[in-house]
Amino acid sequence: MTRPRPLLVAIVGGSGSGKSWLAGRLEKSLPGKAGRISLDDFYRDRSHLSPAQRIRINFDNPGAIDWAEFKKVLAALSKGRSVRSPAYDFTTHSRRSHWRIIKPKEVMLVEGLWLLRSPSLRAYFDLKIFLECCQSTRLRRRLARDLKTRGRTRASVRQQFRTTVQPMHQRFIESQKKWVDLVLPESFSGREARLLSRKIQQIQRRSDFGV
């Protein structure tokens, strides 16, 4: 089924910068009008590798993503079409067996580490946001998340952050700020998220009328 083209919003930032938090707040501030996609669901399937081989992969490098599948989903949504999307299991580093159907809504919030590195990807987004966040805060948030939801140990999270997360952040993530429309500070609050949702609605209305 084809619907009117949705407004595509890119939410970019380092691991632990608050991308999911912001996407969730914006979705609640746009009840029934917004949908969400996470680049995390597009990690390449590693089920063919042994557990020992999987843990040696650098998941903080953009090459870990199935970009062809991700672009296929973005292309469909940009035309107002429903599309199948994979889901990823971080405890096993493999793709889940079930895929979900994403139906385009008026606003699609897309969160991810590397959404803006490719010119062909940047062209899909009507609004591009970067979340600024210091290294210590991102590590603290990453620890809280991975210990609770991804079956990790504190030592393994710290080691990964030191050896791959932060080096890859400096190499691949920070540079994306030059392509965004808006840089949000670490102190960004729920109140400011509501104001941002109003701005998104204004952009969408202008888009609907071809302004």
pLDDT tens for residues 29-87? 999 999 999 999 999 999 999 988 998 899 999 999 999 999 999 999 999 999 999 99
Domains in the chain and their CATH numbers?
7-208 (3.40.50.300)
**pTM for the structure as a whole:** 0.92
- Residue holding tokens 């990964």? 160
Q: Are 10 and 174 in contact (CB under 8 A)?
A: no
pLDDT tens for residues 170-179? 999 999 999 9
